[in-house]
Structure 1
Amino acid sequence: MKKAKDILKHLFNPFNDKLQEKRCLKKIIALMPRKYNKYITSYSLKGEILYINVSHPALRQEIFYNKNIIFSIIKTLHKANQCNSINPKKIVTFYKYQKPLAPPKEIKFYIKEAGKFEIKTKKENLRKKFEEIKNLINSKPG
């Protein structure tokens, strides 16, 4: 019988590169200065370009001008033999306005009495069955 570790390794093997890439990107963002990383909403690596989405347009420019911080973090990780697969040549920051979520609207429920419903069927045998059900509901107390 195979061990659980071997089974998980086999299952995640096709996705291992992407998982490792996401872990490394998360580590890079976490090592950035706090004033930057708390406004970063998403990040991805496509080819040799690192895309960073921020929640404020001024921060977009600031990260773009101080992108050497990100490159120095990546170099430091490479020296420690970590995240060697990530080697972006270019960093692109972008800002996309997102409307704040609207509060949910109040949901109103309209409750009809159980025995008062319309029978809209055209088939006579179904109409008789519905009439029986309606009479049973109306005959019960409560």
Structure 2
Amino acid sequence: MKTAQEILNHILNPYNNKLQEKRCLKKIIALMPRKYNKYITSCLLKGDILYINVSHPALRQEIFYNKNIIFSIIKSFHSANQCLNINPKKIVTMYKYKKIPKPPKETKFFLKEAGDFEIKAKKKDLKKKFEEIKNLINSKSF
């Protein structure tokens, strides 16, 4: 019988490289200066290009001009024998404008009185029961 660790290794083995890459990218973002990592929404590595999505257009330019910070963080990881699979040659920063969602419009509706309804039953027994219900509702004040 397989242990739980063997089963997890078997399931996650095809995705291990991608998971390791995502962990390393999160570490890189965490080690960046606070004014940068606060506005970074995501990172993606495709081939030799590191794509960084930011939530502010001014920060896009600032990260692009100070990309040597990212390269130095990656170099420090490599010297510690970590994140060796991440070796970007180029860094691209992107900003995409997202509209702030508007609150839903106010819907107006009108309430009818509870005891004011039409009885459409055709059977006498049902019609009698509905009339009793209607009388009970009208007799109680809410």
Helix, strand or coil at the partner of 2:99:
coil
Please list every run of at least 4 consecutive aligned residues from structure 1 whose deviation after the TM superposition is greater than 6 angstroms. Answer: 109-113
Identical-pair percentage: 68
Check whether the contact 2:63–2:93 (CA below 8 A) recurs between aligned residues.
yes
Paired residues in the alignment total 130
Residue of structure 2 equivalent to 1:81: 81
Q: Answer whether contact 2:119 2:130 (CA < 8 A) is retained.
A: no
TM-score in terms of structure 1 length: 0.77
Tell me, yes or no, if the aligned pair for 2:119 and 2:127 is still in contact at 8 Å: no
Q: Take 1:137 and 1:108, find their aligned partners in 2: how far apart are those partners?
A: 33
Query: RMSD over aligned Cα, in angstroms?
Result: 2.7
For 1:1-142, what aligned pairs fall within 5 Å after superposition? 1-106=1-106, 135=127, 138=130, 141=133
Q: 2:79, 2:129 → 1: CA distance?
A: 78
Shift of 1:116: 5.4
Q: Runs of 5+ in structure 1 lacking a partner?
A: 119-129
Give, as a single letter, the amino acid of the residue that structure 1 aligns with 2:93.
T
C-alpha displacement of 1:101: 2.4
State the SS of the aligned residue for 2:92.
Answer: strand
Greater C-alpha radius of gyration: 2
Partners of 1:38 and 1:53 in 2: CA distance: 12
Unpaired runs of 5+ in structure 2? Answer: 138-142
